[in-house]
Chains A and B, each alone.
Chain A
Amino acid sequence: MATLSKLAGQDGEQMTEMKPDPPVASKFPSREWFGSGAALFAGFGTLLILMATVSIDSLHTLEAFETHDTQIRKEFVYREHTLEQVRTGVYESGDIISDYAVIESDPPSQARLRNEFQSMLKETTASLKACIQSLPADKREPFQHLADELERYWLKGDRLLALLATEKKGSGHFALRSDVLSQYAEVLAITRDVRTVNDNELKETDRRIAETFAQFRRRLLAFGMIGFGFGLILATTTIVYAGRLEKSLQEKYRESLQAQRELKELSKRLVDAEERERRAISRELHDEVGQSLSALLIDVGNLTEMCSQDAAFRQGLQRIKTLAENCVNEVRNMALLLRPSMLDDLGLVAALDWQARETSKRTGMLVETVDENVSESLPEEYKTCVYRIVQEALNNCSKHAYAKNVRVVVRQDPNYFRVSIEDDGKGFDASRVRGLGLVGMNERVSQLGGVLKVESDPARGTRLRVDLPLPFASANLEN
Chain B
Amino acid sequence: MRKLRILLADDHIVMRTGLRALLERQPNLEVVGECENGRETVALAASLEPDVVVMDVGMPVLSGIEATQTIVTQNPNVAVVILSMHADESYVMRALKAGARGYLLKDSAAADLIGAIQAISQGKSFFSPKVSRILAEDYVRVLKQKGAVDTYDLLTSREREILQLLAEGKTNKEVATALTISPYTVETHRSHILQKLNLHNSAELVLYAVRKGIIS
Binding site for B on A (CB under 8 A): 286-287, 290-295, 297-302, 304-305, 324-325, 328-329, 332, 341-342, 345-346, 350-351, 353-354, 357, 360-361, 364, 366
Contacts and interface: CB of A to CB of B under 8 A. Distances in A.
Interface stretch (B10-18, B40-48, B170-178): B10-18
B109 A298 contact: yes
A350 B14 contact: no
Interface in B122-156: 138, 141-142, 145-146
B12 to A, nearest CB: 5
A89 B14 CA distance: 157
Contact of B63 (A290, A345, A350, A364): A345
21 contacts: A286-B58, A290-B106, A291-B12, A291-B85, A294-B15, A294-B109, A295-B12, A298-B15, A298-B109, A301-B22, A301-B110, A302-B25, A302-B110, A332-B85, A345-B57, A345-B58, A346-B90, A351-B90, A360-B141, A360-B142, A366-B142
A297 B107 contact: yes
B159 to A, nearest CB: 27
Contacts of B90: 342, 346, 350-351, 353-354
Contacts of B111: 301
Contact of A342 (B14, B91, B110, B141): B91
Contact of B145 (A293, A295, A301, A366): A366
Residue with the highest number of chain A CB atoms closer than 10 Å, among B12, B18, B57, B90: B90
A295 B145 CA distance: 38
Contacts of B63: 345
Given A301-B22, A328-B107, A294 B85 contact: yes
Given A332-B85, A342-B88, A291 B15 contact: yes
Given A304-B110, A345-B58, 13 more contacts: A286-B85, A294-B107, A295-B18, A302-B25, A328-B107, A341-B85, A341-B86, A342-B88, A345-B57, A345-B91, A357-B89, A357-B138, A366-B145
B196 interface: no
State the main secondary structure of chain A at its contact with B: helix
Contacts of B15: 291, 294-295, 298
A298 B91 CA distance: 22
Contacts of A293: 107
Nearest to A335: B85
Contacts of A366: 142, 145-146
B141 A361 contact: yes
A328 B138 contact: no
Given A345-B63, A357-B89, A350 B22 contact: no
Contact of A298 (B19, B57, B88, B141): B19
A190 B107 CA distance: 151
Please name the 9 residue pairs, one residue from A and one from B, whose CB atoms are nearest each other, closest first. Answer: A301-B110, A298-B18, A294-B106, A350-B90, A295-B14, A366-B145, A295-B15, A328-B107, A299-B18
A297 B19 CA distance: 10
Contacts of B17: 295
Nearest to A325: B107
A332 B134 CA distance: 15
Residue with the highest number of chain A CB atoms closer than 10 Å, among B12, B18, B57, B85: B85
Interface in B90-106: 90-91, 94, 106
B61 interface: no
A291 B106 contact: yes
B88 A328 contact: no
Contacts of A346: 90-91, 94
A305 B138 CA distance: 34
Nearest to B18: A298
B179 interface: no
Contacts of A351: 90
B181 interface: no
B110 A297 contact: yes
A411 B77 CA distance: 39
B34 to A, nearest CB: 14
Interface string B18-60: 1101100100000000000000000000000000000001100
B43 to A, nearest CB: 22
B15 to A, nearest CB: 4
A304 B142 CA distance: 39
A325 B12 CA distance: 18
Contacts of B14: 291-292, 295, 299
A304 B110 CA distance: 10
A295 B85 CA distance: 12
A292 B12 contact: yes
A332 B88 CA distance: 11
Nearest to B22: A302
A50 B151 CA distance: 102
Contacts of A350: 90, 94
A324 B17 CA distance: 18
Contacts of B58: 286-287, 341, 345
Nearest to A349: B90
Given A345-B57, A345-B63, A290 B21 contact: no
A298 B22 contact: yes
B65 to A, nearest CB: 8
Nearest to B14: A295
B147 to A, nearest CB: 9
Nearest to B89: A357
A290 B14 CA distance: 12
Contacts of B91: 342, 345-346
